[in-house]
Amino acid sequence: MNYKYIVGVDEVGRGPLAGPVYVCSAKLAIDNLEGILHGIDVPVRDSKKLTEKMREKWFVYLEQKRKEGLFDYTISSSKASEIDKLGVSVCITGCVNNTLHRLVLDSERKDTLVLLDGGLKAPVEYSQQTIIRGDENEVVIAFASIMAKVLRDRLMTELHTKFPHYSFDEHKGYGTQKHSQAIRNHGVCEEHRVSFLRNIV
């Protein structure tokens, strides 16, 4: 089947000890893809392998393409308390569903192919493919990864001003030795996933 639109879906923040999980769905017309790729001199691949400066450059560029009507995306997130209550996998599934329902119009659905990273799944009404290491191998998934990671990293940096003991601006909530020691020294805050801390506290 020939599709008119392609959507990439990725999540960021599955494993940290603190902060929300973010899911992004990124959408563009297939005919616009080459033009977008040739409009910037920064390579695109898995956002975790790009420098922060490169991710920010892509983010600004894609936001401009969004204003031009050539690219679109939606973000959904689940905070730490929701992850503790429901489990991170359930939260991610809910976020995937939320982003797709907001991004893809009913009239566009039959013309849209959804590409998802890793073990992610879309609701059954979407034409979809799940791709191992999709953020490395599919550009539109890389776009989703970049948008999600930039926005989550910005949030964690902002949270550092509220909870300076934990250095969220450095590790973005991941379980570094410094972060683990800070939890032992200061206890947990409202941004911590208590269900992830059984071996620390």
Using one digit for the tens of pLDDT, what is the confidence trace for 77-136? 999 999 999 999 999 999 999 999 999 999 999 999 999 999 999 999 999 999 998 888
Asked whether residue 190 is domain-assigned, the answer is no
Report in angstroms the alpha-carbon separations of 199 from 17, 125, 175, 194, 195: 11, 40, 11, 10, 10
Check residue 70 and give its pLDDT: 96
| Cα(164)–Cα(188) distance, integer angstroms | 12
Asked whether residue 179 is domain-assigned, the answer is no
Under the banding of pLDDT at 50, 70 and 90, the label for residue 148 is very high
Under the banding of pLDDT at 50, 70 and 90, the label for residue 40 is confident
Asked whether residue 57 is domain-assigned, the answer is yes
pTM: 0.95
Asked whether residue 165 is domain-assigned, the answer is no
Angle of helix 139-162 versus helix 52-67 axis, rounded to 10: 110
Check residue 45 and give its pLDDT: 67
Check residue 134 and give its pLDDT: 86
Asked whether residue 45 is domain-assigned, the answer is yes
Asked whether residue 100 is domain-assigned, the answer is yes
What's the chain's average pLDDT?
95
| Cα(70)–Cα(18) distance, integer angstroms | 34
| Cα(127)–Cα(132) distance, integer angstroms | 17
Asked whether residue 181 is domain-assigned, the answer is no
The number of folded domains in the chain is: 1
- Structural domain span for residue 64: 5-153
CATH number of the CATH domain containing 146 = 3.30.420.10
